[in-house]
């Protein structure tokens, strides 16, 4: 019984925190894209973080986690297939978000040159033309993620509790961490700190390699600073 309780707390807790991170991050991008004061670089960083992390999250569920659940409980196959179909629709929304220009220079095909020459003032002067499209794409992703999670969690949480062993979850979790794209990873640390308790967050990092753990304070500081900018609360 003690092992089962620990399994419940780890599998469901980690999934819940990741889902809350996705809710928080997609909402923040939709809000920040509507504020002209937010620097383009900050929007691009959060946009890129969301695109790669959501795609990776859904890919690992479809390819790694769902097959294990179905193997243990074949009657879940239909429900999980429906969730995978939602993943595909969300991928289409992520394609639109990834393609949305953050700056006018990007739309003109000269974002690299503008960045190289430090022409931030020129880029920002064009933001008014492109940010409505960025915000529209961000809102679509935000709403799609929230709707999807309302469908997924009532299926997934009981499945994690009843059909995934502690060893399976540990292996899955480690594979997810090992294959997560290194795009603005500090933002994940910052979001997790906001949606979870210190004990919950620490439990997710307990098996993190020591060289990476040594970077956590710096990553947390950078995340706090970047999230303040995105929320318009920086000094």
- Residue length, the chain? 235
Query: How does residue 118 score in pLDDT terms, banded at 50, 70 and 90?
Result: very low
The per-residue pLDDT of the chain, averaged, comes to 86
pLDDT at 235: 53
Q: Give the predicted TM-score (pTM) of the model.
A: 0.84
Per-residue three-class SS string for the chain: CHHHHHHHHHHHHHHHHHHHHHHHHHHHHHHHCCCCCCCHHHHHHHHHHHHHHHHHHHHHHHHHHHHHHHHHCHHHHHHHHHHHHHHHHHHHHHHHHHHCCCCHHHHCCCHHHHHHCCCHHHHHHCHHHHHHHHHHHHHHHHHHHHHHHHHHHHHHHHHHHHHCCHHHHHHHHHHHHHHCCCCCHHHHHHHHHHHCCHHHHHHHCCCCCHHHHCCHHHHHHHHHHHHHHHHCCCC
d(CA 131, CA 183): 22
pLDDT at 234: 60
| 148 pLDDT higher than 60 | yes
pLDDT tens readout for residues 151-192: 999 999 999 999 999 899 999 998 998 888 888 989 999 999
Greater pLDDT, 122 or 233: 233
Count of Cβ atoms closer than 10 Å to residue 205 Cβ: 13
pLDDT tens readout for residues 32-65: 999 999 999 999 999 999 999 999 999 999 999 9
Mean pLDDT of 188-203: 94
pLDDT tens readout for residues 12-23: 999 999 999 999
**What is the Cα gyration radius of the chain?**
19
Tokens of 7: 């399994």
- CB proximity list for 100: less than 8 A, separation 6 or greater: 47, 130, 133, 134, 136, 137, 138
pLDDT tens readout for residues 93-116: 999 999 998 876 555 444 444 444
Q: How many CA atoms lie within 13 A of 49 on its CB side?
A: 24
């Amino acid at each position: 019984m003690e092992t089962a309780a620990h399994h419940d707390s780890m599998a469901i807790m980690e999934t819940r925190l990741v889902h809350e991170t996705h809710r928080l991050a997609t909402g923040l991008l939709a809000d920040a894209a509507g504020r002209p004061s937010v620097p383009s670089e900050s929007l691009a960083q959060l946009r890129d973080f969301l695109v790669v992390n959501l795609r990776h999250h859904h890919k690992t569920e479809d390819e790694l986690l769902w097959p294990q659940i179905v193997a243990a409980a074949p009657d879940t196959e239909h429900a999980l297939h429906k969730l995978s179909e939602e993943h595909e629709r969300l991928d289409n929304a992520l394609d639109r978000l990834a393609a949305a220009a953050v700056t006018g220079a990007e739309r003109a095909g000269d974002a690299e040159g503008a960045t190289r020459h430090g022409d931030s003032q020129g880029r920002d002067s064009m933001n008014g033309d492109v940010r409505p499209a960025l915000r529209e794409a961000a809102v679509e992703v935000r709403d799609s993620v929230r709707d999807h999670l309302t469908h997924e969690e009532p299926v997934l949480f009981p499945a994690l509790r009843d059909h995934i062993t502690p060893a399976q979850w540990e292996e899955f979790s480690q594979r997810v961490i090992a294959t997560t794209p290194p795009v603005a990873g500090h933002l994940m640390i910052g979001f997790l700190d906001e949606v979870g308790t210190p004990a919950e967050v620490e439990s997710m990092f307990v098996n993190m390699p020591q060289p990476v753990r040594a970077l956590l304070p710096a990553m947390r500081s950078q995340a706090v600073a970047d999230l303040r900018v995105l929320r318009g609360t920086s000094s």
